[in-house]
Structure 1
């Protein structure tokens, strides 16, 4: 039935993609899940999708990539993606000779966008055989589109001596540390960072390390720290009766609740989601502000900051740091000393935890709910 969303799950990625393209060719709306999901969980998602009315005029559906809660189904027209193709092609110098490497799973809107885009250009698509980057993939890929986590995995292999053909990487995420850019350049890879959201698509781009600025065709405005966007790239919304952070006003402006600002010279410096702030004593702490500072410390590859419940303060600022395989963190006293040179007292973590690798969502984002739960339940190591 035209407009009917069709859930697809297959541990063979090529088979899943082939099915999705066939569904689309027949007028349906393909929705690929993550083959790592629990069977009962997937059955529940399928039931929710089956109960929803068809989505006339829609071409593609993806799950939200947020790090909390049950994923919502986001539906969109074909034009909401294709309108951005010229801008992406200019950034990447993309041609039919390229091989686009997509290390994020097909459940990610990042991957499905690039699959559809590459087909229109005539470029080849390279999907990993497993859920990890492989040396053999890097022998063929010329373009990478993925997350900072995926790029870090690629760079680790290149720095270990793996030969590669990558010339450019398009990396999503509002937070990209300068170290990744310098490492990419040392490997001969031009790095283009961007910020987007599954609901908004491309919003801002940083092709040279000088900061994010609006992507082609995008207007931005900031109201009391809240970023509003207007562009032709918006998704239509959520399937069925699901609600989420995406909202629009009558003038065509939309937001997903991102907070920006704090520096007049860098107005699109992201400070996290409005609903993610930590209220501790008399202060309001944006986790991303603290995370950006802590990522500058030696020995910390990534970090998640959250509010640890506390009866007196309401919440304590806490951090779970990722050290990488075989790494161990400094003492809590040393971490406080180093962080104290970068953060005010209200923003300094009062509790520290660590792990070699943070658990992540299917799209490579830190799984914030699980990380916070593990810290509260004591199943992640405490730094003393």
Structure 2
């Protein structure tokens, strides 16, 4: 309900991962004048308490209609608030890119607390495809999720007969795109952020171009975007979103090559080691091409004298798929000396509920010795 002076607070409710009533509950909240925020029922108690405390103490800014959570890949989740128009203005472009038709059903394997799933749920309240909150579905014709979820759907025995897939949240591996195309699935990869929404897209596998309605600039190696899709900001304390007039950035690094955007990771993910700056995403992209590597994540571990050592956690394609000698030989062949991982680990990569790499948790596990060295 509206409070005196027009200041409203964000209301939260927990929606199970496969809850079919999520759209109805969002619509009810909207009609009652509340700003809904979907929480994840699997969160640790301390995370939930922190978010609830923030909501109880912080009124939403004027014009806010929706609230979403950042992925929490680098720490505690932040609450992002945005206007209705900041999402609604991108709906027509999304429908065109996917070739959406009446009667389409979009498969949403990430939980409703994920901002990408919430976007599609809000889209469904207007002209968007009907949502299917499930790991897979034989009825779905469209898909919206992360590359991890798409790969799982393609490998499922109940793989749906999808026509198109909207894929974001992390870089799309070439083999996942190829597997989807082999099944006749049109793939639209996109780059964005909870704060910026859509920034760039790639529908042909040749690189990211500005999303319809977005201007992109790279200043000092940092990506800036100008569009009508940017959020209002955060509840409570500051976050990575910064503004320069109509332009906004979350600190992601990148460069333009032939009109295509190459994203190189967040500024604060950069590893300073022995005088060199290492961008983890650039190493990860190359490591994923090594035989026997299903996925890889690169972090910096504290090391006296050099700042941080570059460490790589490899998720093998199958047990015994990689060994130390193979990884070091590949590293020597692929990377300059200052950028080569010095510490190698093998195991399962920690991910957030939406399928993104949980970098802070990966770093904690490696530093604590929970993951075996290769």
Count of equivalent residues:
368
Task: Please report how far the alpha carbon of residue 55 of structure 1 lies from its aligned counterpart in structure 2 after TM superposition.
Answer: 3.2
**Runs of 5+ unmatched residues, structure 1:** none
| Alignment match, 1:173 | 169
- Work out the CA distance in 1 between the residues paired with 2:219 and 2:159: 47
SS of the residue 2:125 aligns to: helix
- Work out the CA distance in 2 between the residues paired with 1:104 and 1:188: 23
User: Is structure 2 residue 356 aligned with structure 1 residue 365?
Assistant: yes
* 1:42 corresponds to which of 38, 48, 57: 48
* 1:213 corresponds to which of 209, 215, 220: 209
* 1:256 corresponds to which of 238, 250, 275: 250
Deviations 1:320-349, CA, capped at 9 Å, x for gaps: 01125x433422121111222221111111
* 1:247 corresponds to which of 238, 242, 246: 242
- Work out the CA distance in 1 between the residues paired with 2:323 and 2:123: 48
SS of the residue 1:268 aligns to: strand
Deviations 1:15-56, CA, capped at 9 Å, x for gaps: 454333211111110000001012343123111111002433
Task: Please report how far the alpha carbon of residue 359 of structure 1 lies from its aligned counterpart in structure 2 after TM superposition.
Answer: 1.4
User: Is structure 2 residue 323 aligned with structure 1 residue 345?
Assistant: no
- Contact conserved, 1:260 with 1:267, CA < 8 A, in 2? no
User: Is structure 2 residue 54 aligned with structure 1 residue 63?
Assistant: no
- Work out the CA distance in 1 between the residues paired with 2:229 and 2:324: 45
User: Is structure 2 residue 368 aligned with structure 1 residue 377?
Assistant: yes
- Contact conserved, 1:63 with 1:108, CA < 8 A, in 2? yes
SS of the residue 1:229 aligns to: strand
- Work out the CA distance in 2 between the residues paired with 1:5 and 1:173: 25
* 2:261 corresponds to which of 256, 261, 268: 268
Q: Which residues of 2 match residues 149-228 of structure 1 at below 5 A?
A: 149-157=148-156, 161-228=157-224
- Contact conserved, 1:95 with 1:122, CA < 8 A, in 2? no
Deviations 1:189-243, CA, capped at 9 Å, x for gaps: 111101010000000000010110000110011111111110000011101x321
- Contact conserved, 1:318 with 1:349, CA < 8 A, in 2? yes
* 2:109 corresponds to which of 90, 100, 103: 103
CA root-mean-square deviation: 1.6
Q: TM-score, normalised by structure 2?
A: 0.94
Q: TM-score, normalised by structure 1?
A: 0.92
**Runs of 5+ unmatched residues, structure 2:** 3-7
- Work out the CA distance in 2 between the residues paired with 1:40 and 1:307: 26
- Work out the CA distance in 2 between the residues paired with 1:140 and 1:211: 31
- Work out the CA distance in 2 between the residues paired with 1:37 and 1:107: 11
Task: Please report how far the alpha carbon of residue 280 of structure 1 lies from its aligned counterpart in structure 2 after TM superposition.
Answer: 0.8
- Work out the CA distance in 1 between the residues paired with 2:240 and 2:353: 20
- Contact conserved, 2:27 with 2:125, CA < 8 A, in 1? no
Task: Please report how far the alpha carbon of residue 358 of structure 1 lies from its aligned counterpart in structure 2 after TM superposition.
Answer: 1.4
Per the alignment, do residues 329 and 353 of structure 1 end up closer, same or farther by CA in structure 2, a change over 3 Å counting?
farther
- Work out the CA distance in 1 between the residues paired with 2:15 and 2:167: 26
User: Is structure 2 residue 146 aligned with structure 1 residue 147?
Assistant: yes
User: Is structure 2 residue 306 aligned with structure 1 residue 313?
Assistant: yes
